[in-house]
A and B are shown apart, each in its own frame.
Chain A
Amino acid sequence: MEKGEDTVNRIVIGIGGQGGYIVNNLLKLLKSKTGKTPKNEEFLIIDTDQASANACTEVEERRKIVLNRPDTILMKNANRWLPDPYLAAAGAGCGQHRIYGRAMYNVHRERIFSAIGTAASELRNRTGGKDFFILMVCALGGGTGSSMLLDIAIDIRDWISKQFGSQPVMFGIGILPSSKESVLPTGNALGALKELHFLMSHSKEIIIEDKNYSNPFKLFFLLGRDLQGQNRDEELERAIPRFLLDLGFLPGGMVETKGKWLDLNDLQNRARGYENRFDSLGYYECVFPSDKLFLFYDIEDEIPVVRQRLVEIEARTGDIRGKTDLQRGELERFEGRIRDVQREIERYESARGLLSHVNARATVDAKAKLDRAKKKLSDLKEGVFNLEIRVSDAEEEKRLMERKLERLDALKNKLLRDITSPENTRSYHQIELSEDEVRDLKKSREDMTNLSFLEIMRKLDREDEYFRWTHSPVNEGDVIFNPMVNYRHAIENTMTASYIDILNDYGFLTVDARGNVVNEEEKFGHFIAVLSTRADNFDDGRLGGGAFKSMVTERFAKDADVLKLDAPARAHSFAIYTLMIGLQPWAAGPGLPPRLREFEWIEKAYGESDFSKLQRHHSLFYGTNKPFSIITDIPYTPGAEEKNRDMVTSYWQSYEVIEPGVIWENVPIVLAQCLKMFDDLLVGLDIAGAIKNARVPDPESYSIANLTMLIHELENASKNMEKVKHWTKEAGRGFTHLKDELDELMSRLKGTDAGRPAEEKAEKMLRMIDDSTRNLEILLDRIDAMSNSFSNDIEVFVENARGFLGNIPSDATTSGVIRQITKAETEISRIRENSMKAVNGIKEMGGPLATLLSSLKELKSVLESEGGEAEDVVFEERKGTGVELPDLSLNLRRKEE
């Protein structure tokens, strides 16, 4: 974007404590860069907590909209639907109750709009432009921001559209709570996300009561406070303003760049089609610590100068102190002399008469002089006193200076430490310099200002390291894993290889030459990497932008761009900003973790609230029954406020943050689980059946060796029987779980407008269902046969063993042999006992398997009713080869997860 051509009016609104804090930071950075706020930008904060609003010192007072808590009568009158426990809030602001925030918004709506309207009108008058860009920032876990965000967004869009005749472009930034926060904010976040997703999924205009309920946001960025288990507040604090300013969302504070690049229109074009999905940002920066170095050198040079000057000052203040002591003595002496002279004058004057002469004029003159001296003397005495105080102050100040000098010294050491052993994070890497390098570079500090990052690193003979930290993140694709939320790009990280193999076999995903899973459905919309540095820091050959783009589009995103931004001011830094547009935060399938890991803890916290407490996590549509009813097709009862409120709460409780069409993507995952379980079960049955192959020595050929061998066989058989017993128990549990998943999936498919899957996919799913059904039928047959033969096999084995033991000659029964016989009999009774339980377990599998079969058939009918006839496919038997009994726990996750 060319600077100076921008006539788009920009309004940044921070809602709630964290929103206000971010806007304040943004302003601080903006002012430090430009010294003032650009004329086409306005910054507002809306808060319900006076203290946090006061802390936003950079925001103009008239742009602070602080909403006071109304009394309960007014609150109830304005919000008939508001339950009594929420008529007042505990703590500051909205007390983290979204429902209270909604009620506050209803009370203060006019005030909010008057303030925003004034700012918008002033902008319009200043710039003459009618286009508006509005950025809204808030924490999704709080009470104020998360509750007012949507209403403000809807209302402000309508207001600006009507007022200025053009719809504003609106972006949102929502901060997700960390996993360490309490239940209230964490649960709020899911409430807010549900409502936000609900609105975002309505792309067409829905005008009800003169209000448009369609998605107001072009892009909505989700950012997490807790990344990979570590608090990242500091990074968020740094990254958000840098992102917004450097990338020109707020061009007033943009880093000076050459040429045109990604502007709002470009960004909107890239986001087109993904407006209904969430987005995120990523930020990575590698810097050469030139600023720190220059500061270190300056301080290093300054310290001896200051120290010398302080020594001089100390000497001089010492002199002055000596002088003032002297002067004080002098003044006292003169005071005495003045008194003497005055006495002398008095005596002189008193000697009047015939024999004396008094020069009156002289005495008057002398008196005047003495008076003046006396007056001055008293002033001087005060002056000396003041001087002494000032000398003391100067000495104290000097001591303070010495302490400051010590601080400066400490700062110097800290800087050296920062330079020689920087604390690098995932998103910030500072080149580490040795003390020798720090010393060497000082000689060429003047040149260093003009040298590029690359040239300095070349000079240090560390060119490879430069490329490793600046170009490799792009070249090797690391930047894609660095968003400011916990996002899993692919299920391969969460799913065991056997499921991936099954899905691969049926063509739901592919595995590339390097073993990476490629799944078109998992890809997010658009990935944009903006590399910002001075032009001479780029090496296109090493950057491999094309290869990166191919890699990203092949595995992670449907489209990708790598944009180079020549920023002359960034001679010694290499920043990589990433935008991930169109994320899919939901889980790839039942039993799998959500891609957006934040869902793990926000769903848990939300689930901890019972129905009556759930309403504190929600805001949208409370009190606006008609729009809710029209949009959701759920009828409401006019006047029954409580009933309608509960209806809204109930709707939100069951609302899932997922696109209805995506539910079909879960079908292959559940079917893969079925297939894997059936495979495992078949293998397990083979292993269980293998017990009949246990060897028993010929009863006629007794020897100690044969007796030992029999005991060994009995022990093995006993252990296997124990395992089979547990395994059958696990299988029963696994089938029940699988059945539940299937039922849930079907109810979701029936309950939502999931549409129908593509023809090709439907065919694949039908193939999977058919295979599962066949496997299930085979299993049922095997179980039936096995439950009959298993007892006999065990009985034969036990009888043979008993026969061998009974034929042991009496003369061979030494005490050792008797001990062995006792051991063998114990194992035999254990085998018998466990085998009975195992047989029961195998028999009991039949029940869940039969219900599973009916569920599969039902799923098939749902699929066929949606998608038509499927082809018959040839059943291909899978057979495991492991000697251990397979894991039937249906845990899709990898162990390392």
Chain B
Amino acid sequence: MEPLSIGILVVVLLIVVEALVMLVKFKVDKTLLLMPIAGLICAIIAFVLNEYRAEILASLDSSVQDVVIYVLLVVGVILGLLGLVIWFKGEKEAKKIIDTAKGIDSAVAGIDSDMRGSEMELEHFDDEMGAIKEKVTDYESKDKEV
């Protein structure tokens, strides 16, 4: 096997790994998987054309044959990379949203705990004022007794 075929095969394998990772690990939307799959198909076609160049591309000039194979390979690579870029972008946006939601959530929780503090403080005042009131009533009732 010639070196180009090996290179194309590596690209194919990388794209397969990418697609599998995106499918299994990232659980991306199936539509997004079309991108690396299309890239994979291009790379496979490039590999097949390269391997069977004599039979399939015999009618073409040798330099045109190379161009076709490389173009397909590059398209495959680009589609593979594009898939990744789109995934990254989506993930980044999701992270931003989740961070914002988290921020709001924690800020609200902060207000909540602040309010609880105020409530407790007010409760304490109530108790204190109740105690004062009781004391005053006690003094007043004692006054009636003495």
Binding site for B on A (CB under 8 A): 32, 289, 291-292, 295, 298-299, 302, 306, 309-310, 313, 316-317, 320, 323-324, 327, 330-331, 334, 337-338, 341, 344-345, 348, 352-363, 365-367, 369-370, 372-373, 376-377, 379-380, 383-384, 387, 390-391, 394, 397-398, 400-401, 404-405, 407-408, 411, 414-415
With A370-B104, A404-B133, A414-B143 known, 10 other A-B pairs at CB within 8 A are A291-B145, A299-B139, A316-B125, A320-B122, A354-B31, A370-B101, A373-B104, A376-B105, A387-B118, A415-B143
- B139 → A minimal CB distance (Å): 6
* B115-146 interface bits toward A, Cβ cutoff 8 Å, 1 = contact, 0 = none: 10011011001101100110110011011011
Contact A366 B143 (CB under 8 A): no
Name the distance in Å between B101's Cβ and chain A's nearest Cβ: 4
By the criterion CB–CB under 8 Å, are A387 and B98 in contact?
no
What separation, in Å, do the CA atoms of A31 and B141 have in the docked complex? 15
Shortest Cβ distance from residue A297 to the other chain B in the assembled complex, whole angstroms: 11
Residues 92-104 of chain B, each 1 if its beta carbon lies under 8 Å from chain A, else 0: 0111011011101
Report whether B129 and A398 are in contact in the complex, using a CB–CB cutoff of 8 Å: yes
In the complex, the chain B residue whose C-beta lies closest to that of A367 is B101
Q: Are A341 and B104 in contact (CB under 8 A)?
A: yes
Quick check: A352 and B126 within 8 Å, CB to CB? no
A415 to B146, CA, bound (A): 10
List 7 A-B pairs, minimum CB-CB distance, nearest first.
A357-B90, A359-B94, A362-B94, A291-B146, A366-B101, A369-B101, A373-B105
> CB < 8 Å: which of B31, B88, B95, B100 contacts A341?
B100
Known: A320-B118, A348-B94, A394-B122. A369 touches B105 (CB 8 A): yes
Please give the distance in Å from A410's CB to the nearest CB on chain B: 10
* Listed residue (A289, A334, A369) with the most chain B CB atoms within 10 angstroms of its CB: A369
* Residue B112, interface by CB 8 Å: yes
Q: Of B34, B93, B98, B128, which one neighbours A365 at CB under 8 angstroms?
A: B98
The CA-CA distance from A367 to B86 in the complex, in Å, is 22
The answer, yes or no, to whether B16 is at the interface (CB within 8 Å) is no
Pick the contact of B104: A338, A358, A365 (CB < 8 A): A338
Contact with A along B68-95 (1 / 0, CB 8 A): 0000000000000000001111110111
A397 to B93, CA, bound (A): 52
A323→B118 contact, CB < 8 A:
yes
A313 and B104 in contact, given A327-B115, A404-B136, A407-B136 (Cβ under 8 angstroms): no
Once bound together, how far apart are the Cα atoms of A380 and B107, in whole Å? 12
Chief secondary structure at chain B's binding surface: helix
Tell me if B115 and A348 are in contact (CB < 8 A): no
Q: Is the CB of B34 within 8 A of A354?
A: yes
B91 to A, closest residue via Cβ: A359
Task: Return chain A residues, CB-CB under 8 Å to B143.
Answer: 292, 295, 411, 414-415
Within 8 Å by CB of B146, from A32, A295, A316, lies A295
B109 CB–A CB distance under 8 Å = yes
Q: State how many angstroms separate the Cβ of B94 from the closest Cβ of chain A.
A: 4
B57 at the interface (CB under 8 A from A): no
A331: chain B residues within 8 A (beta carbon): 108, 111
Bound: A309/B87 CA distance, A: 62
Identify 22 residue pairs between A and B in the complex whose beta-carbon atoms are under 8 Å apart, listed by A's number.
A291-B145, A299-B139, A306-B135, A313-B125, A330-B111, A337-B100, A348-B97, A356-B86, A356-B89, A360-B27, A365-B101, A369-B102, A370-B101, A376-B108, A387-B115, A394-B126, A394-B129, A397-B126, A400-B133, A404-B132, A407-B136, A408-B139
Report the minimum CB–CB distance from B21 to chain A (whole Å): 13
A363 to B146, CA, bound (A): 73
- Contact (Cβ within 8 A) A357 B108: no
How far is B115's CA from A410's CA once the two chains are assembled, in angstroms?
38
For residue B9, CB closer than 8 A to chain A, the reply is no
**Which residues from chain B contact A353 at a C-beta distance below 8 Å?**
31
Residue of A310, A341, A404 touching B101 (CB-CB under 8 A)? A341
Q: Are B125 and A373 in contact (CB under 8 A)?
A: no
Q: Are A380 and B112 in contact (CB under 8 A)?
A: yes
Minimal beta-carbon separation of B33 from chain A (angstroms):
10
> Are B97 and A344 within 8 A (Cβ)?
yes
Q: Tell me the nearest residue of chain A to B118, going by C-beta.
A: A320
A4→B15 CA distance, assembly (Å) = 104
Do the beta carbons of B105 and A324 come within 8 Å of each other? no
Interchain CA distance A398-B133 in the complex, whole Å: 10
Contact B136 A376 (CB under 8 A): no
Q: Which residue of B lies closest to A298 (CB)?
A: B139
Is the pair A337, B115 in contact by a Cβ cutoff of 8 Å? no
A357 in contact with B32 (CB, 8 Å): yes
Cα separation A361 to B91 with both chains bound (whole Å): 11
Let me know if B94 and A358 touch, CB within 8 A: yes
Residues in chain A near residue B95, CB distance under 8 A? 362
Question: What are the residues of chain B within 8 A of A373 when measuring CB–CB?
Answer: 101, 104-105, 108
A366 to B93, CA, bound (A): 12
What chain A residues lie within 8 Å of B121 (beta carbons)? 316, 320
Chain A CB within 8 A of B29 CB: yes
Contact B97 A345 (CB under 8 A): yes
> Which of B32, B90, B118, B126 gathers most chain A CB within 10 Å?
B118
Nearest to B130 among chain A residues (CB) is A397
Q: Does B28 contact A (CB under 8 A)?
A: yes
Please give, as numbers and ranges, the residues of chain A lying within 8 Å of B105 by CB-CB distance: 369-370, 372-373, 376
- List residues of chain A with CB within 8 A of the CB of B31: 352-354
What B residues does A324 contact at CB under 8 A? 115, 118
Of A289, A302, A358, A376, the residue contacting B109 (CB under 8 A) is A376
Residues in A with CB closer than 8 Å to B11 are none
B51 interface residue (CB < 8 Å to A) = no
Q: Which of B27, B89, B132 has the most CB of A within 10 A?
A: B132
Distance in angstroms from B22 CB to nearest chain A CB is 9
Q: Would you give the 0/1 interface string for B30-56, flagging 1 where the beta carbon is closer than 8 Å to chain A?
A: 011011000000000000000000000
Pick from B28, B35, B90, B111: contact of A327, CB under 8 Å? B111
User: Quick one: which of B102, B119, B128 contacts A390, CB cutoff 8 A?
Assistant: B119
Report whether B112 and A383 are in contact in the complex, using a CB–CB cutoff of 8 Å: yes
Residues of B within 8 A of A298 (CB): 139
A353–B102 CA distance with the chains assembled, in angstroms: 27
Complex contact B94–A317 (CB within 8 A): no
Residues from chain B with Cβ under 8 Å of A369 in the complex: 98, 101-102, 104-105
> If the complex has contacts A341-B100, A348-B94, A369-B98, are A380 and B115 also in contact, measured as CB distance less than 8 A?
yes
Contacts A291-B145, A295-B143, A363-B97 given; does A357 touch B111 at CB 8 Å: no
Min Cβ gap B135→A in Å is 7
B133 touches A357 (CB 8 A): no
- Give chain A nearest CB distance to B65 CB in angstroms: 30
Contact indicator A408/B136 (Cβ below 8 Å): yes
Taking CB atoms, residues of chain A closer than 8 Å to B98 are 362, 365-366, 369
Tell me the minimal C-beta distance from A335 to chain B in angstroms: 10
Most buried by B among A309, A316, A338, A354: A354
**Chain B nearest CB: distance from A770 CB in Å?**
66
Q: Given A302-B135, A373-B104, is A348 in contact with B93 using a C-beta cutoff of 8 Å?
A: yes
Residues of B within 8 A of A334 (CB): 104, 107-108, 111
Out of A289, A345, A383, A401, name the residue touching B115 (CB < 8 Å): A383
- Taking A292-B146, A320-B122, A345-B97 as contacts, is the C-beta distance between A306 and B111 under 8 angstroms? no
- The answer to whether A357 and B146 touch across the interface, beta carbons within 8 angstroms, is no
Closest to A330 in B: B111
CB pair A356–B32 under 8 Å, yes or no, is yes
B114 to chain A, nearest CB (A): 7
Docked complex Cα distance between A317 and B118 (Å) = 9
CB <8 Å contact, B32 and A354? yes
Name the distance in Å between B85's Cβ and chain A's nearest Cβ.
9
Give min CB distance, A326 to chain B, whole Å: 9
Contacts A313-B128, A334-B107: A355 and B93 contacting too (C-beta < 8 A)?
no
Chain B hits for A291, CB < 8 A: 142, 145-146
Would you give the shortest CB distance from A53 to chain B, in whole angstroms? 24
Assess whether A354 is in contact with B35, with CB atoms less than 8 Å apart. Answer: yes
Contact between B132 and A401, CB atoms less than 8 A apart: yes
A115–B115 CA distance with the chains assembled, in angstroms: 59
Residues of chain A within 8 A (CB-CB) of B34 are 354
From A309, which residue of chain B is reached at the shortest CB distance?
A: B128
